[in-house]
Chain A
Amino acid sequence: MFVESMINITVKLSIDLRCYRPSLKINESMSIAVPDDTTLLELLTNILQIPAHAVAIPIVNGEKCKLEQSLKKDDQVAFWPPMGGG
């Protein structure tokens, strides 16, 4: 039998995206096990069920990434809506 290998990652949702997981505290990470090689886009749309257009700035381990990027074990993912200001 084929067993898909799973990896653990953490995810944070901020600003308006918090409405998709209202039980999370501010800046709180959730741990999720996802299949190896899952892309950020698959994580968003298939697993978290957040529309991709709501996310403008995906950050993985402190770096802004493209949604096509695949996840690795222990990645720290944070999703942000369109942002600006300062």
Chain B
Amino acid sequence: MFYGYTGTILRVNLTNGKISKEALDKKMAEDFVGGRGLASRLLCEEIDPQIEALSPENPLIFGTGPLTGTGAPATARYVVVCKAPLTGTIACSNSGGFFGPEIKFAGYDALIIEGESPEPVYLWIKDERVEIRPARVLWGKFPSETESSLQKLTHPSAKIACIGPGGEKLSLMSGIVNDNYRIAARSGVGALMGKKKLKAIAVRGTGGINLADTEEFWKASMDMHAKITGDPVSFGSFRAYGTTSLVNLINEMGAYPTRNFKSDTFEGAANTSGEAIAEEILERNRACFACPISCTRVTEVKKGPYKGRGEGPEYESTWALGALCGVSNLEAVAKANYLCGDYGIDTISTGATIACAMELFESGALTEKEIGFPLNFGDEAAMVRAVEMIGEREGFGDILADGSYRLAERYGHPELFMGAKKLEMSAYSPRVFQGMALQYATSNRGACHVRGNTVAAELYGVPRYMPPEVLEQKEEMVRRPFQNSTAFVDSSGICLFTKFAITHREICALLTPATGIDFNFDRSIVQGDRIWNLERMFNLRAGFTAADDKLPARVSEPSPDGPRAGSRAILQNHLQTYYQLRGWDTEGRPTPSKLEELGLEDWWNVCREHD
């Protein structure tokens, strides 16, 4: 009998149509928690990390956490894990909304989708009944049309995750969209779904989730609810302005990367800030399943060339499609964001790729003839046009659709790719936030802010304030309270955005009565460490080495202007300290004793193959 977990994994083979159900391994659940950890562990059992990402051998794993769908605050999350089409690293994209809980209500902890269908199909999961159905009529449709069509074809309350035209056309920047606007965006997981010709998954679950100790669970849940609603961040600026409340603040600090990271201060930031969104396009808030924070913005541009409606733009999207491209027109940024949602493509990678193309164009490496029009920094109409072309793989968009790493390489300027391990960096300058510099370089899915958002410590003071420019002890900070901790939180099924109000202790106080398994603070630290090391081992086996733990040369040069002029990312001396703290050798490989400590010793052979 399982509590918190459903105890069942659904396996669907799209090549031969076989559908089967497997029991969850309880020891594996205890060791890897759920969500990101469990799905990553399952992936490691399914494949050799050296396979081609866009191949039938690469499964698409949808994972939920033991807390997903329980009704405790912010328990909406699900993850998508596979070998990443964009980067070749392990991928774990994460999304909220209502789709994740519905998987649990249907009776599954995870879905493993393997093989490849010859024709477009969708998966219809109605509790224990599972069908692969033709999806020819859905192919080419945007997520909103796909969702309404599928709810007619299946059940009016079915929850839908699907790809847009971007995923269908195998854009390496495409994600998986659920509940119309939420997206498991990064690493190109949508391209793998497109390769499998799987347009959508529709789920209707009518079951509940068994809890080991209902009374204790709801007591812990109410305690967490009180902490979140009493927290001035979670229930203050975050609820009122969403993630974009940060735009003006990060820019005020001179840490807001601008024009493909040429500078760290954007003169047009105020026009695209959370305050501007609230005044000009905000319709209302929206919450994911069981979330008291409701940080999502429902917005509308009512008229003009950028007319549209949707959710967001969020902080990262506002930045990538705004400052990074030198664009300060909020309506254009909102429109580009809506288009990314329609096509099902990652706003960060899309904005960053257009910014990279803008720099290539201005430097003469790319011509107007190749693109079809001039693509200068600050040209909002050209930026919006480029997003459409990426979504459709139309004209030059066909080249842009594979991300900025491949673009910069193709045009002979690999130094203009602003990321690590082929994934583009996010909206916190690593020249200013030294913790983010180390985090971007070492993150298992490539440069990314949500594998360890050290800005919490380096600016807001959570868990304790460490000034952004300080180097001492940053390695330990990146490792434990950020990277390892995030791995644990992502595995529990709770949203990372609760972390301003709560710690692992509150999450464990929910996990134990939910599952009947003893979760506690000390174990959670080991679980996070175990998950991080497993992901690292996957990447080593996939061919990554310590040489890939690096940042673009540009961010190691002094910031040219703004309040932090002269600051630069300092990485080199920190990597060895970081490796040492992690229990890795000088080549960044977990040592046998580290793997033994974490119960990952089987992986030592994998590590040794790289000697």
**Residues of chain A having any CB pair with chain B under 8 Å:** 12, 14-16, 18, 25-27, 56-57, 59, 61-64, 76, 78, 80-86
Partner of B242, one of A61, A62, A63, A85: A85
Q: Give the distance in Å from the alpha carbon of A81 to the alpha carbon of B295 in the complex.
A: 17
Contact assessment for B243 and A86 in the assembled complex, using a CB-CB cutoff below 8 Å: yes
Partner of B233, one of A12, A63, A83: A83
Partner of B467, one of A15, A27, A64, A84: A64
Nearest residue (CB) in B for A27 is B270
Q: Give the distance in Å from the alpha carbon of A3 to the alpha carbon of B461 in the complex.
A: 40
Q: Give the distance in Å from the alpha carbon of A85 to the alpha carbon of B273 in the complex.
A: 14
Nearest residue (CB) in B for A78 is B252
Contact assessment for A14 and B248 in the assembled complex, using a CB-CB cutoff below 8 Å: yes
Taking the closest CB of chain B, its distance from the CB of A71, in whole angstroms, is: 16
Contact assessment for A82 and B248 in the assembled complex, using a CB-CB cutoff below 8 Å: no
Given A82-B233, A83-B237, are A27 and B269 neighbors across the interface (CB < 8 Å)?
yes
Judged by a CB distance under 8 angstroms, whether B24 is at the interface is no
Nearest residue (CB) in A for B245 is A15
Extra contacts, 6 of them, besides A62-B564, A82-B237, A84-B237 (Cβ < 8 A), are A12-B252, A15-B245, A26-B279, A84-B233, A85-B246, A86-B455
Nearest residue (CB) in A for B250 is A86
**Residues of chain B having any CB pair with chain A under 8 Å:** 232-234, 236-238, 240-243, 245-246, 248-249, 252-254, 269-270, 273-276, 279, 295, 315-316, 426-428, 449-450, 453, 455-456, 459-462, 465, 467, 497, 500, 562-564
Contact assessment for A85 and B232 in the assembled complex, using a CB-CB cutoff below 8 Å: no
Contact assessment for B269 and A80 in the assembled complex, using a CB-CB cutoff below 8 Å: no
Q: Give the distance in Å from the alpha carbon of A27 to the alpha carbon of B244 in the complex.
A: 14
Closest 7 CB pairs of A and B: A62-B563, A27-B270, A84-B233, A82-B232, A84-B500, A85-B243, A26-B275
Contacts of B275 in A (CB 8 A): 14-15, 18, 26-27
Q: Give the distance in Å from the alpha carbon of A25 to the alpha carbon of B276 in the complex.
A: 10
Contact assessment for A86 and B427 in the assembled complex, using a CB-CB cutoff below 8 Å: yes
Contacts of B274 in A (CB 8 A): 15
- Enumerate 18 A-B pairs (CB-CB under 8 Å) in ascending A order: A15-B241, A16-B240, A18-B275, A26-B276, A27-B269, A27-B273, A56-B460, A57-B459, A61-B563, A78-B252, A84-B234, A84-B238, A84-B462, A85-B243, A85-B497, A85-B500, A86-B315, A86-B455
Partner of B248, one of A27, A63, A76: A27
Contact assessment for A85 and B459 in the assembled complex, using a CB-CB cutoff below 8 Å: no
Max count, chain B CB within 10 A of own CB: residue among A18, A26, A57, A64: A26
Contact assessment for A59 and B253 in the assembled complex, using a CB-CB cutoff below 8 Å: yes
Given A26-B273, A84-B238, A84-B500, are A57 and B427 neighbors across the interface (CB < 8 Å)?
no
Q: Give the distance in Å from the alpha carbon of A75 to the alpha carbon of B445 in the complex.
A: 41
Taking the closest CB of chain B, its distance from the CB of A28, in whole angstroms, is: 8
Contacts of A61 in B (CB 8 A): 563
Q: Give the distance in Å from the alpha carbon of A26 to the alpha carbon of B246 in the complex.
A: 13
Q: Give the distance in Å from the alpha carbon of A28 to the alpha carbon of B279 in the complex.
A: 15
Taking the closest CB of chain A, its distance from the CB of B556, in whole angstroms, is: 20
Main secondary structure on B side of the interface with A:
helix
Contacts of A78 in B (CB 8 A): 249, 252
Taking the closest CB of chain B, its distance from the CB of A22, in whole angstroms, is: 12
Nearest residue (CB) in B for A14 is B248
Contacts of A85 in B (CB 8 A): 233, 237-238, 242-243, 245-246, 295, 315, 497, 500
Main secondary structure on A side of the interface with B:
loop
Q: Give the distance in Å from the alpha carbon of A41 to the alpha carbon of B564 in the complex.
A: 24
Q: Give the distance in Å from the alpha carbon of A26 to the alpha carbon of B248 in the complex.
A: 9
Contact assessment for B252 and A59 in the assembled complex, using a CB-CB cutoff below 8 Å: yes
Partner of B236, one of A16, A57, A63, A86: A16
Contacts of B316 in A (CB 8 A): 86
Contacts of A62 in B (CB 8 A): 252-254, 562-564
Contacts of B500 in A (CB 8 A): 84-85
Contacts of B249 in A (CB 8 A): 14, 57, 59, 78, 80, 83
Q: Give the distance in Å from the alpha carbon of A64 to the alpha carbon of B250 in the complex.
A: 11
Contact assessment for B269 and A57 in the assembled complex, using a CB-CB cutoff below 8 Å: no
Partner of B246, one of A56, A59, A83: A83
Contacts of B245 in A (CB 8 A): 15, 83, 85
Contact assessment for B252 and A64 in the assembled complex, using a CB-CB cutoff below 8 Å: no
Contacts of B248 in A (CB 8 A): 14, 26-27
Q: Give the distance in Å from the alpha carbon of A56 to the alpha carbon of B234 in the complex.
A: 14
Max count, chain B CB within 10 A of own CB: residue among A16, A25, A62, A80: A62
Q: Give the distance in Å from the alpha carbon of A80 to the alpha carbon of B240 in the complex.
A: 14
Contacts of A27 in B (CB 8 A): 248, 269-270, 273, 275
Contacts of A83 in B (CB 8 A): 233, 237-238, 245-246, 249, 459-460
Contacts of A86 in B (CB 8 A): 243, 246, 315-316, 426-428, 449-450, 453, 455
Contacts of A76 in B (CB 8 A): 563
Contact assessment for A82 and B460 in the assembled complex, using a CB-CB cutoff below 8 Å: yes
Contacts of A15 in B (CB 8 A): 237, 240-241, 245, 274-275
Nearest residue (CB) in A for B243 is A85
Given A64-B459, A84-B500, A85-B497, are A16 and B237 neighbors across the interface (CB < 8 Å)?
yes
Taking the closest CB of chain A, its distance from the CB of B264, in whole angstroms, is: 10
Contacts of B459 in A (CB 8 A): 57, 64, 83
Contact assessment for B273 and A81 in the assembled complex, using a CB-CB cutoff below 8 Å: no
Contact assessment for A63 and B563 in the assembled complex, using a CB-CB cutoff below 8 Å: yes
Contacts of A26 in B (CB 8 A): 248, 270, 273, 275-276, 279
Nearest residue (CB) in B for A80 is B249
Taking the closest CB of chain A, its distance from the CB of B522, in whole angstroms, is: 26
Taking the closest CB of chain A, its distance from the CB of B221, in whole angstroms, is: 22
Nearest residue (CB) in A for B271 is A26
